[in-house]
Each structure stands twice: as structure tokens, then as C-alpha cells.
């Protein structure tokens, strides 16, 4: 599939990429149903994520398939695993695209790129230390030692050192 994938990707770059459009990631796979016919015919190709849109592209002997979705219009992203397949479903208000692949890593990469472009990836929340749970809090003596170390290294000012020191002592 590697040489076919290269063919589809190279053809997209040469014939269908918009001026200034940057490819973020891509995955080899197919749309349609395995052994399908008519509108469900299986088309092997690549799913490409650019900075503007998501494109399924397949270049064949008798023609090509090009399905696009603007990133701004994608309303939801679904990922499924079924019988060794990775399925990625992209939805807009009036359209959907179901892409299938055996390359789990690439499908995850495509899904992450789409989510990032939609602004849905949030950094994981940082745990907040609580002073009410003494088993999870750093002992005051250790915190004071770390604070003094930061001050001696010049990483915090004398004012910051005094303010934080007073805060730690007030918690005792």
C-alpha cells in the first residue's frame, strides 16, 4: 500500500492543494464498504488533514475521488475500532465522511490534528495542591528549603522570597 499511498499523496500535492495550504498529517485507508458496490464501492486512498480542510483522495486508472470537508465546518469526530479496522467518522451539519484504515497510529494522528484545528484539544488539567490534605502536601520545612534554594540561585527576588515564606509559615 505504500507505493499506492505515495501516488495518491503526490497527486493531491500536484493537482489539488490550494496555494499556501499546508499538509498537517495523513493516513492510508479507504472509504466505502469492503466489497461494496454502487455508492458503497470501496475506494482505497489517503485521508489528508491540511490547515484548511480534510480531504479523502484517491487517484485511479479511470479517474479519481476527491471528498473535502472544511475544518471549520466539522462538528464532531468519532473514532471506532471494529474487527481490526480503525474507523474515523467526521460530521458536518449536512455531511459525513467515514474513513477506515488498519494503521491505528496514523488514524489517531489524523483525529488529533482535526481536533486541534477545531480547537477542542485542551491541555490536561494540572493537579492543584491542597493544604487540607497533609499526606499530599509537601512538608513546610521542605517547601521553605526549596524556596531558599530558588532565592539563592537568583530565580526569585527578595520580595517574592519573603512573601512566599510568610505564606508557607501562615499555613502552619
137: confidence class by pLDDT, cuts 50, 70, 90: low
CATH of 2-118, one of 3.30.465.10, 3.40.50.300, 2.30.29.30, 1.10.10.10: 2.30.29.30
Q: Identify the three-state secondary structure at position 63.
A: coil
For position 123, what pLDDT does the model report?
46
Residue 127 has pLDDT above 90, yes or no: no
Phi, psi of 43, rounded to the nearest 5 degrees: -120, 115
Higher local confidence (pLDDT), 47 or 149: 47
Residue 116 CB neighbour total at 10 angstroms? 13
Amino acid at each position: 500500500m505504500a507505493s499506492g499511498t505515495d501516488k495518491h499523496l503526490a497527486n493531491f500535492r500536484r493537482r489539488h492543494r490550494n496555494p499556501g495550504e499546508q499538509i498537517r498529517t495523513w493516513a492510508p485507508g479507504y472509504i466505502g464498504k469492503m466489497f461494496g458496490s454502487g455508492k458503497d464501492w470501496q475506494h482505497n486512498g489517503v485521508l489528508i488533514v491540511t490547515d484548511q480542510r480534510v480531504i479523502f483522495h484517491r487517484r485511479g486508472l479511470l479517474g479519481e475521488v476527491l471528498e473535502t470537508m472544511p475544518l471549520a465546518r466539522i462538528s464532531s469526530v468519532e473514532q471506532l475500532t471494529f474487527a481490526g479496522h480503525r474507523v474515523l467518522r467526521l460530521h458536518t451539519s449536512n455531511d459525513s465522511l467515514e474513513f477506515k484504515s488498519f494503521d491505528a497510529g496514523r488514524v489517531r494522528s489524523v483525529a488529533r490534528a482535526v481536533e486541534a484545528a477545531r480547537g477542542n484539544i485542551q491541555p490536561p488539567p494540572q493537579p492543584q495542591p491542597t493544604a487540607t490534605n497533609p499526606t499530599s502536601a509537601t512538608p513546610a520545612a521542605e517547601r521553605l528549603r526549596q524556596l531558599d534554594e530558588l532565592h539563592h540561585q537568583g530565580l526569585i527576588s527578595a520580595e517574592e522570597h519573603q512573601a512566599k515564606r510568610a505564606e508557607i509559615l501562615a499555613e502552619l
